[in-house]
Amino acid sequence: MNCLEYRRQLGSDPRHESAEMLEHRRGCAGCAAHHARALGFELALKRALAVPVPDGLAERILLSQTTSERSLRLRRRQRWGWSAAAAAVFAAVTLVVIQFAPATPLSRQLVVHLQHESEALLTHTPLPATEIEERFRRRGVRLMAAPPAGVSYAQLCPVGPIASVHMVMPENEGPVTVFFLVHHKGRRGDHVDKGMYVRTVPMAEGTLALVAADPRRFDTLEASWRNSLEGSPAVAAGTP
């Protein structure tokens, strides 16, 4: 065994020597000195690590961990509390804003709805009266007389939260959009919104609304739809 081999094996475990290592060390002063230094270092390291453990150290460590975890949970609850409080304040403010925000006028809702379904104005072929009556029947409304002639479009549409029958009548002066708002008792009125004329008329069990760029046919159409929805004055009064 040479010196390099001896010192490599000694470095792996200074406290144990093989017979071959012992034989080499006895004949090599340099390796003997190296062995002594290695053992001295091992002894110093052992003394440094031999520190007495204070009484109750394990309990103090566990207590510290428990306290840290409790503090962490408390901080999380506080953050959650602030988040919940902030959410509650936001909800309350939103509710106040909704309650006191000005409601969108019915005329504006009708015009906006018409803009979203502008393709309905492109139809011109009159629908059978039975098809229009079916639309009203599906809304729970029974017509007292045949609907006015010339309705080219009839669909069930919501206007905001209000159920309606949405119709189009292609008049000579331009198309007139007719809405019957079921179970909605609005006020009678004439309005202009976004360049469109709007008339609302309480009628039967709801409100009739007429929307057009030219209002010249409003009076005639109002009378025609009143006859369809309420019948002639004699029928409305219950005369046999």
Q: What are the two backbone dihedrals, phi and then psi, of residue 53, each rounded to the nearest 5 degrees? A: -85, 125
Query: Residues of CATH 3.40.1000 domain(s) within the chain?
Result: 106-237
The pLDDT score that the predictor gives to residue 99 is: 53
The pLDDT score that the predictor gives to residue 100 is: 46
Higher pLDDT, 124 or 4: 124
Q: Which top CATH class is 106-237?
A: alpha beta
The pLDDT score that the predictor gives to residue 102 is: 54
Strand arrangement of the beta sheet that strand 174-182 belongs to? 153-159, 162-171, 174-182, 206-212, 196-203, 189-193
Give the mean model confidence (pLDDT) for residues 109-136. Answer: 91
Q: How confident is the model at residue 238 (pLDDT cuts 50, 70, 90)?
A: very low
The pLDDT score that the predictor gives to residue 51 is: 65
70-87 residue pLDDT tens: 778 777 777 766 666 666
* CA-based radius of gyration for the chain: 47
Cα–Cα distance between 109 and 119 in angstroms, integer? Answer: 17
Residue 48, pLDDT > 90, answer no
User: Residue 119: which residues within 8 A CB-CB, separation 6 or more?
Assistant: none
The pLDDT mean for the chain works out to: 83
Contact 225, 178 (CB under 8 A): yes
Residue 204, pLDDT > 90, answer yes
Give the mean model confidence (pLDDT) for residues 151-177. Answer: 94
From 103, 128, 102, 229, select the one nearest 178 (Cα to Cα): 229
Instruction: Enter the pTM of the model.
Output: 0.56
The pLDDT score that the predictor gives to residue 225 is: 97
Residue 200, pLDDT > 70, answer yes
Give the mean model confidence (pLDDT) for residues 163-177. Answer: 94
Higher pLDDT, 47 or 17: 17
- 5-8: long-range pairs with CB below 8 Å, 24+: 6/31, 7/31, 7/34
